[in-house]
Amino acid sequence: MSSLLPVIAAILVSGLVVQLVAHHLQVPSVVFYLLIGVVLGPEVLGLVTLETFGDGLEIIVGLSVAIIVFEGAFALQIDRIRGASTVSLRLVTVSALVMFLGTAAAVRFFEGANWEIALLIGALLVATGPTVITPILNVVRVRDHVATALETEGIVNDVTAAIVAVVIFETLLLDDLGVPATVFSFVERLGVGVLAGLLATVVIYVLLDSDLVPERDVQASQFLVLAAAVGAFAAAEAVAAEAGIAAAATSGIVLGNLDINNREEIERFAENTTLVVLSFVFISLAALIDVEAILQLGLGAVGLVLVIMLVLRPLGALIATAGVERFTWPERLFIAGVGPRGIIPASVATLFAIELELAGNVAAGELLVGTVFAVIFVTVAIEAGLARRIGDVLGVSPMRTLIIGGGRVGRALATRLERRGEYVIIIETDDDEIEQARSEGFTVYEGDGSDTETLRGAGIEDAKRVITVTRDDDVNLLACQLAITKFGVESVYSRVNEPDNVDAFESIGVKGVDSPTATAVAIDDRIERPAITHWMNELGDSHDVQEVEVTAENLAGKTIRDLNAQIPDGTFVAVVSRDGENHVPSADTVLEYGDHVTFIGDTDAVRRAMERFHPHD
C-alpha cells in the first residue's frame, strides 16, 4: 500500500496540473496525458509499470471507462441526437465497418499479421471515445450538430469496438469457433449490457423519485447517479466480459433523458469526476506504452497510420455526411481530420497482450500492443494536438451569436443568421418554445437569459453578438446590460416592445428596434417596394447582402474601377460607409482602409468578395 501511494499521488497531481496547462494553452488535455504517461512509465522514470497495479489494473481501467462513458452518454440528449441523426447513424454503422475492415486489411498488408490478429486490431481501432473527443470539443467550439455526431460516434463505437474485440479474441483467436459463433456472442454481450443498463436505470430512477431522496438533497442525487454507472457496469461484467461498457452507456443515455431533479448539479459532478478519472486512467495506460515494440514495427506501422488517418477516416466521414446539407464542407473535413483513438483500444489491447504472452504467443502480443499504441500515439499527438489549429484553418469555430428568446421572432431571426453561416444559440426558458426550436434544428440553451450563469453556460464569452427578442423589455434590458458590462460584448441588439423604452436601451449602447416601427416599415416596404422586399426576405437562398470592413491593405487607396478585377462576378458594391456617413459609390470612389462596404449579389460571390476585402479579423 505504501509503495502505491506516491505513484497514485504522482498520477493524480500530474493529471490536475495538465488540466490547468491544457486549459491555459487551449490544447486538448489528452495530448499532455500521453506525454506525462510516457515520462512516468518504464521508458523514462519507471514509476508506473505493468506490475504497479498488478491484477487490479483491469478493474481500475474498467470502472474508470464505465464512469467516463456514462458521463458522456448522460450529456447526450435525444433532441441533440435528432439534429445529427443521419450522420451519427452512419458513423456508427457504415463508417465504422469501413474503418474495421480497412484497418484489418492494412494491418495484414503492412505488417504481415494473420487475419485473426488483423481483425482484432481493426475492431479495436474503430473506437474514438469520449476520452479523446470531449477534451477536443472543450477547446474547439463547433456547431452543435457536429459535436453531437462526434460524441455519439465516440460513445457508441467505444461500446461496439470493445465487445467486437473481445468476441473476436475469444471465438476466433483463442477457440476458432467461426463466424456464426462470433456474431451470436456479440449479440449476447450487447444484450446483457443493454439489459443491465436498463435495470440499473430503473432502480436509480425509482430511488431518486422516492421519499428516500428529498428533492433538495443534491449530494444524494449525485452519488445515486454515479452508482448507476458503477452498478450497471459491475452487474453486466459479472455475466459477460466487456458487456459493462454497453451497460454504462445504456444507463447514461436513458437516465440522462429522464426528468430528474438537480440535473445541472449532477452534470457538473459527473464532469468533475470524469476529469479526475480520465487523467488517472489515461496517464496510467500511457505509461505502459512499449516504445520498443512500436519501433520494431518499422515502416509497416507508418504505412498503417497513414492509411487510417489519410484514407479510412476521411472516407468514413465523407460517407457519413454525404447528402446532408446541414454539414458544411469545412465541417465534413473537420470530422475527417479529427478521429484520435482513446482508452478502449489502449486498455483492451494491453489486457489481450498479457493473455497472449501467458499463452506463449509473445510475438502476437507485441504486434497487437505495438500497433494499437502506435496509432493511439500518432492520432492523439497530431489529430488531437492540432485539433484547434485544424478547426481554425477550416473555420468551423465561428464566433457565437446568442439570441435570447426562442419565440417566433427569435426563430425567424436565427433562420436568417444560420443561412448566412452564423453559429446561433437560442436561450429560452419556456418548455414549449424550447421543444419547437429544437424540432426546427436550432441549438437551444435552457435558462434565463437575464441570469449571469445562464449566459456564461451558453458561451457568451465566445459571442460576437447578443440579441434579445423576448416580449419583456425588462428582461431584454437586463440581459443587454449584463452582456455589455459583465462580458464586454460590443455588438448588442434588442427588440423593444414599447417605443418609449428605446432611449433606455440606446443609453447603454444597445441598438434597439421597436416592434411597432419595425412592423410599420415592413408594411410600407411591401406596398412601395414589393420586389426588393421579397428579394431581401429570401436572403441566404441564392443571394445575399453583407457589410464588411476593408482590412486588405493591398486594396486600400484604390478606386472602385481599379478594384473591378477583385470584385467577383455576380456582386457589386452598393454602399460605402465612412465616419458614420453612407453613400452609393461611383467608379471613381476611392476605398480607404477601415471603410465599410456593402456587397449585394449572389451568395457565393458575396462570400468571396468579403474574404478578399476583409482577410483579417
Domain boundaries of the chain, sorted by first residue: 4-60+88-184+274-394, 400-519, 542-613
Q: Which of 288-302, 403-417, 439-453 has the lowest mean pLDDT?
A: 288-302
Instruction: Look up residue 525 and give its three cell numbers.
Output: 416596404
Which pLDDT belongs to residue 315?
A: 96
Could you tell me what percent of the chain has a pLDDT over 90? Answer: 16
Whether 452 has a pLDDT exceeding 70, the answer reads yes
Sign of CA dihedral 244, 249, 250, 254: positive
Mean local confidence (pLDDT), 259-286: 78
Amino acid code (one letter) for 469:
V
pLDDT tens-digit profile of 501-536? 989 999 999 998 887 777 777 787 778 777 776 666
Whether 105 has a pLDDT exceeding 70, the answer reads yes
- For residues 294 and 149, which has the higher predicted lDDT (pLDDT)? 149
Write the DSSP symbol of residue 541. T
CATH fold for domain 542-613: Alpha-Beta Plaits (3.30.70)
Which pLDDT belongs to residue 569?
A: 86
Mean local confidence (pLDDT), 335-361: 82
Whether 171 has a pLDDT exceeding 70, the answer reads yes
pLDDT tens-digit profile of 459-502? 888 788 999 999 999 999 999 999 999 998 889 999 999 888 98
In this prediction, residue 176 has a pLDDT band, given cuts at 50, 70 and 90, of: low
Most confident of the ranges 107-116, 173-182, 287-296: 107-116
Q: Which of 258-262, 294-298, 329-333, 562-566 has the lowest mean pLDDT?
A: 258-262
Q: In DSSP terms, which residues pair with 596 in a beta bridge?
A: 549, 577
To which residue does cell 436550432 refer?
Answer: 442
DSSP readout, 35-58?
HHHHHHSTTTT--S-TTTSGGGHH
Whether 1 has a pLDDT exceeding 60, the answer reads no
Whether 617 has a pLDDT exceeding 60, the answer reads no
Which pLDDT belongs to residue 175?
A: 62
Residue 534: is it exposed, middle or buried by C-beta count within 10 angstroms (0-12/13-18/19+)? exposed
Whether 566 has a pLDDT exceeding 70, the answer reads yes
Mean local confidence (pLDDT), 284-312: 84
Which pLDDT belongs to residue 539?
A: 53
Which pLDDT belongs to residue 307?
A: 95
Whether 541 has a pLDDT exceeding 60, the answer reads no
Angstrom distances, CA of residue 246 to CA of 237, 343, 471:
10, 15, 46
Sign of CA dihedral 196, 197, 203, 206: negative
Which pLDDT belongs to residue 178?
A: 65
Residue 580: is it exposed, middle or buried by C-beta count within 10 angstroms (0-12/13-18/19+)? exposed
In this prediction, residue 304 has a pLDDT band, given cuts at 50, 70 and 90, of: very high
Whether 402 has a pLDDT exceeding 80, the answer reads yes
Whether 378 has a pLDDT exceeding 80, the answer reads yes
Q: Does domain 400-519 have CATH number 3.40.50.720?
A: yes
Q: Which of 140-149, 350-359, 360-369, 420-429 has the lowest mean pLDDT?
A: 350-359
| Cβ–Cβ under 8 Å, residues 599 and 577 | no
The two beta strands, 443-446 and 423-428, are parallel
Residue 28 three-state SS: coil
Long-range contacts, stretch 595-598, CB < 8 angstroms, 24+ apart = 595/549, 595/550, 596/547, 596/548, 596/549, 596/550, 597/547, 597/548, 597/550, 597/573, 598/545, 598/546, 598/547, 598/573, 598/574
Whether 180 has a pLDDT exceeding 70, the answer reads yes
> Which among 595, 604, 603 has a CA at the least distance from the CA of 563?
595
Q: Which of 257-271, 437-451, 597-611 has the lowest mean pLDDT?
A: 257-271
pLDDT tens-digit profile of 33-63? 888 888 888 777 878 777 777 767 777 777 8
Residue 405 CA to its chain's centroid (Å): 25
pTM of the model: 0.68
> Which among 141, 61, 112, 51 has a CA at the least distance from the CA of 371?
112
Checking phi first, is residue 488 left (phi over 0); if not, alpha (psi -120 to 50) or beta?
left
Which pLDDT belongs to residue 139?
A: 80
Looking from the CA of 174 toward its CB, the CA atoms found within 13 Å total 17
In this prediction, residue 10 has a pLDDT band, given cuts at 50, 70 and 90, of: confident
Separation CA 171–CA 285 (nearest Å): 26
